[in-house]
Amino acid sequence: MNFDPDLLDKLRNSRHLAVFTGAGVSAESGIPTFRDALAGLWAKYRPEDLATPEAFLRDPAMVWQWYASRRAAIAAIHPNPGHHAIARLGQLLRRLTVITQNVDGLHQAAGSGRVLELHGNIHRNTCFACGREATPEEAAQDATPPLCQGCGGMLRPGVVWFGEALPAEAWRQSVEAVEDADLFFCVGTSSLVEPAASLPRLARSLGCAVVQINPDATAHDAVADFILRGKSGEVLPRLLDAAFPAA
């Protein structure tokens, strides 16, 4: 794979790289997308039956069990070479911020330090009533769902459901990171759900070079300065080796 020398220069000299990742990066580790995971016992459900505040209020035990099954599936999965390449770039560059739409924690597992989670994290839990984050002990109580020890409310998975706003602080920091970045990687995401989908556009409008990495064409290609076709687990390690041959 040959890379544009201009891209290699930009990467080597980057002061702040923002890496925006989506479902494709997790899928390469073997994590099924939400829709693909609706198989077997869960095949009769639609995402909106399981991943909305309304669904949780209607049948909290069922929604809790669904997430328990997702967590069990994710627990057996490891970061892939794409996650590891991003973590290595974090050590080579002055500053790197990962902005992810994935909830599996695989960027942190690969060693990435600064990870902003726009859709929360499936390994955490919060109280549906008071919003505080639950301790692992609270979440391990033998109840479906377990209850908040602060207010008695029901615990819920710490992910963003359909129809919910993005976590305000993670979003604020993401916009700030994009405003500060001089290079922006858009990796494994074709999602056009706003406001997250506006980040590549924002980067481009601020004069930041945008690199699109995806096996297929996506709407984000329109704002890309460089388009690299392929899986992130193949493209990113090669890009890193080309830019930092001695690393």
Give the residues lining the site for Zn ion (CB under 5 A).
127, 129-130, 148, 150-151, 153
Q: Could you give the CA distance from residue 203 to residue 212 in angstroms, rounded to a whole number?
A: 12
User: Least distance in Å: CB of 152 to Zn ion?
Assistant: 7
Is the Cβ of residue 127 or residue 203 nearer to Zn ion in the bound state?
A: 127
Active site residues: 119
Closest separation between CB of residue 53 and Zn ion, Å?
15
Give kind and range of the element (H or E) at residue 100: strand 96-100
User: Which CB, 77 or 129, lies closer to Zn ion?
Assistant: 129
Q: Which is nearer to Zn ion, 143 or 151 (CB)?
A: 151
Closest approach of Cβ 126 to Zn ion, in Å?
A: 8
3-state secondary structure at position 43: coil
25 a known binding residue? no
Cα Dmax for the chain: 58
Q: Is 200 annotated as a binding residue?
A: no
Q: In whole angstroms, give the CA distance from residue 237 to residue 241.
A: 6
**Cα–Cα distance for residue pair 227/230, rounded to 1 Å:** 10
Task: Please report how the helices 81-92 and 232-243 are oriented relative to each other, as an axis angle in degrees rounded to 10.
Answer: 30
208 labelled ligand-binding: no
The CA-CA-CA angle for residues 89, 92, 93, to 5°, reads: 85
186 among annotated binding-site residues: no
Residue-level length of the chain? 247
Q: Which is nearer to Zn ion, 126 or 232 (CB)?
A: 126
Q: How far is the CB of 129 from Zn ion (least distance, A)?
A: 5
Residue ranges of the annotated binding site for Zn(2+) are 127, 130, 148, 151
Extract the annotated binding site for NAD(+): 101-104, 188-190, 214-216, 232
